[in-house]
Amino acid sequence: MNTEKIITKLSPLTQKTEAKNHKKPFQVLVHSDRHELHFAYPLNTENQIFHVASIGKLFTTVLTLKLVEEGKLSLSDKLVKWLDPALLEGLFESDLHEIDVLDCLSHRSGAEDFFEGKPKTGDPLTKIVFEKPDTLWTAEMLLEFTRTNLKPIGKRKEKFAYSDTGFLLVCMVLEKVENKPIRLIFEEQLFRPLGLNNTQSMIYLYPKNLAKVPSAIWLGKHEVKDLNILSIDQADGGIVSTPEDLVSFNKALYSGKIINQEHLDLMQNWQGKFRAGLHYGTGMMQVHFEEFFFLMKGFPRLTGHIGVLSTHCFYDQINDIHYILNFGSTENMSSSFVYLSNVVGLIKQENK
């Protein structure tokens, strides 16, 4: 692989893409130890903090599997083993006593997504939060919104349906298992041991002088990094991180440093489809580029996750290449995938 040639071609492509990003946060890191490839844009922003959004589901899933390997819980544990059944009332079509941890991690619990679910009546949560931007949402409040305003989307295991509600319940289970807040569990079990020094969970719960404040966060036309609106992002751990830290996390995950191969394989048991081109396993996505456009047949399968803020954390396991993107806004998802496709295609062409 001619890395110098790749970087020479990546630079103008990336500059052109940034110019169309409407002055929103923009970060790119393409890295490979094997090929000695390191492309960071803008220069020296590998350690610039941003909100990773649903990339945090990778962290939540890995944390859960790590605790399973430590014998602290089981994927087959029913939620009611750890949570008050009253919390679960009205969330599921199936018997709430049957829903287990794996159902939630694989998005097959039947619970509607509190973040993007369509209410039976009234406004969606994404509108309500802007009407009350100072509200500090608790997990219980998010479940109450789901119970009151949303309808379950199916029976347990009946179909794949992406649900922040299920992941929120897993986080609540982990808090019961460890008897401490989820942000501290992340810190003690993952961030600190892996040396992720610029990664933090739920920054709004830290004193201002200790919070790792990210670059701007755009939900639609609203910049929200200093608002309590961030408290609705509890299903993903509300994580901020950096491109460099995410690469470090990936390296630890795929090398077996955090969880064993059996559990990594479980994450890659592709059993659902998030949307065309994005297949889903257990807390992990796989990109099928040919479903975006037929001429992309033969592109490598990237594994990882995206976030609603047009954030990407993907790894090409065959070629040992990490792709970390932050396009900083809910409005830039399409352009972020166009860019990712172009970069992967460029590298594939040069790696013949």
Measured between alpha carbons, how far is 168 from 343 in angstroms, rounded to an integer? 34
Measured between alpha carbons, how far is 251 from 249 in angstroms, rounded to an integer? 5
How do residues 46-61 score in pLDDT, each as one tens digit? 899 999 999 999 999 9
Stretch 195-209: mean pLDDT: 94
* This prediction's pTM: 0.96
Measured between alpha carbons, how far is 199 from 59 in angstroms, rounded to an integer? 11
pLDDT at 352 over 80: no
pLDDT at 332 over 80: yes
How do residues 131-167 score in pLDDT, each as one tens digit? 988 899 999 999 999 999 999 999 999 999 999 999 9
What integer pLDDT is reported at residue 130 of this predicted model?
A: 92
pLDDT at 214 over 80: yes
278 confidence band (pLDDT: 50, 70, 90) = very high
pLDDT at 65 over 90: yes
Query: Which two three-digit tokens encode residue 83?
Result: 């949570």
Its sign, for the CA torsion 313, 316, 320, 325, is: negative
Measured between alpha carbons, how far is 151 from 96 in angstroms, rounded to an integer? 14
Measured between alpha carbons, how far is 34 from 40 in angstroms, rounded to an integer? 17
pLDDT at 1 over 90: no
64 confidence band (pLDDT: 50, 70, 90) = very high
Q: How many residues does the chain have?
A: 352
Those residues whose C-beta lies under 8 Å from the C-beta of residue 217, and which sit 6 or more positions away, are 25, 51, 223, 224, 225, 230, 309, 328
What integer pLDDT is reported at residue 90 of this predicted model?
A: 96
pLDDT at 22 over 90: no
How do residues 173-191 score in pLDDT, each as one tens digit? 999 999 999 999 999 999 9
What integer pLDDT is reported at residue 26 of this predicted model?
A: 96
Sequence spans of domains, the chain: 3-52+237-350
Measured between alpha carbons, how far is 327 from 331 in angstroms, rounded to an integer? 9
